[in-house]
Chains A and B, each alone.
Chain A
Amino acid sequence: MKSLPILALIGTVMFSTAALAQTASDTNVEILKQKIKADKKMIISQNMDLTNTEAEQFWPIYDSFQKDLEGINQRMVTTIKDYANTVNKGPIPEDKARKLVNEALAEEEDEVKMKRSYSEKLQNVLPPPKVARYIQMETKIRSLLRRELAEQIPLIY
């Protein structure tokens, strides 16, 4: 598969930028986001070998999935920001720690469920090996992103 690490790196930068460097202008963040979206779409497109008929049915479902994933990303950014703000103020209060754990777990659960529901939608329009391949790519990209986040975010104390 082509150029995944670069994409993941950009993804991480996007997250750190959005979550921590609030001074960055909205325009720059927006441009970066567009770039990431385009890069991801290109990687998927290069690896899917879709026929024209398949492509017509695949891309609208893909776009809708990306929009829903974007919603999860936004929730993750909010949780990370919330965590960063709390950590900077000293020891984490008990109710805040609980809230952060629950949010992080809920985001993860929603993402897994979303992936299943989109894989079912895709099964109606693509041969199963291509659905499996797409889910593999999506899982790779998301797991790189999650691994970066897990590495970058310090343990709670």
Chain B
Amino acid sequence: MKTMGLGVIAVSFVIMMQGCASSQSKGQPATAAPPQGYSSAQHEKAALDDMNRARTARAGSDKNLEILMQKVRADKKLLVANNMDLTDAESRKFWPIYDEYQQKLQQINQRLGSTIVEYAEAYNSGPLPDSKAEKLMNQVLDAEEAEVKLKQSYAEKLEGVIPERKVARYIQIENKIRAAVYGVLAEQIPLAY
């Protein structure tokens, strides 16, 4: 694979997602970014620091966020284009399906983003209540399941229009990018307590 720093895409994606989600929760107190693996002793102070950092970060304008999102989308598209070796005829059929798929993935990203923000808020305000823990876990499992189903349905759509081995390659690329994103998320989000 012609490399283009999957890690960079993943990190920008995560920043973007947190941005997205926090801009949805307007009118609420400052939203903290998920804190990173504290021991319970450090928890309180670290959470406060995080909230302060998040307040500063939210001062960043929506315009910057929009530019970042455009950049991430363009980088991903370029990475896919560089690796697909599509003929003109294949391109005409592939890209509209790709764009539609990215739009649906974006909806899943936003669901994950709001779940992460909801978790960060709950995490910072003390022990996780039972009902909240159950709700958040189900939201994550729902999003994961929706993503797998979406991937299956778009693999089927592509199977009709480009050669099978190119479908397989595209799914591999998509998997690599999503695995990098999920890896960063798993590292950044602290365990529930």
Selected from A91, A129, A137, the residue in CB contact (under 8 A) with B130 is A129
Q: Known: A109-B149, A137-B191, A140-B186. Contact between A156 and B165, CB under 8 A?
A: yes
The contact string, 1 if C-beta is below 8 Å from chain B, for chain A 136-157, is 1101100110110011011111
Residue of A nearest to B131 (CB): A128
User: A127 — which chain B residues lie within 8 A by C-beta?
Assistant: 130, 133
Distance of A42 from chain B, by nearest CB (Å): 16
User: B163 — which chain A residues lie within 8 A by C-beta?
Assistant: 94, 97
Q: Known: A112-B144, A113-B145. Contact between A97 and B167, CB under 8 A?
A: yes
The answer to whether A105 touches B191 (Cβ under 8 A) is no
The answer to whether B145 touches A116 (Cβ under 8 A) is yes
The answer to whether B37 touches A1 (Cβ under 8 A) is yes
Q: Known: A136-B191, A150-B176, A151-B176. Contact between A116 and B141, CB under 8 A?
A: yes
The answer to whether A143 touches B169 (Cβ under 8 A) is no
A108 to B1, CA, bound (A): 22
The answer to whether A108 touches B148 (Cβ under 8 A) is yes
Q: Could you tell me which residues of chain A, from 54 to 107, have a CB within 8 Å of some CB in chain B?
A: 91-92, 94-95, 97-98, 100-101, 104-105
A153 to B191, CA, bound (A): 30
User: B133 — which chain A residues lie within 8 A by C-beta?
Assistant: 127-129, 131-132
User: A94 — which chain B residues lie within 8 A by C-beta?
Assistant: 163-165
Distance of A131 from chain B, by nearest CB (Å): 7
A41 to B165, CA, bound (A): 39
User: B88 — which chain A residues lie within 8 A by C-beta?
Assistant: none
A144 to B169, CA, bound (A): 21
Distance of A120 from chain B, by nearest CB (Å): 10
User: A115 — which chain B residues lie within 8 A by C-beta?
Assistant: 141, 144
- Could you name 22 residue pairs across A and B whose Cβ atoms are closer than 8 Å? A1-B191, A94-B163, A98-B168, A108-B151, A109-B145, A109-B148, A109-B149, A119-B141, A127-B130, A128-B130, A129-B130, A131-B133, A135-B141, A143-B179, A143-B183, A143-B186, A146-B175, A150-B176, A151-B176, A155-B173, A156-B168, A156-B172
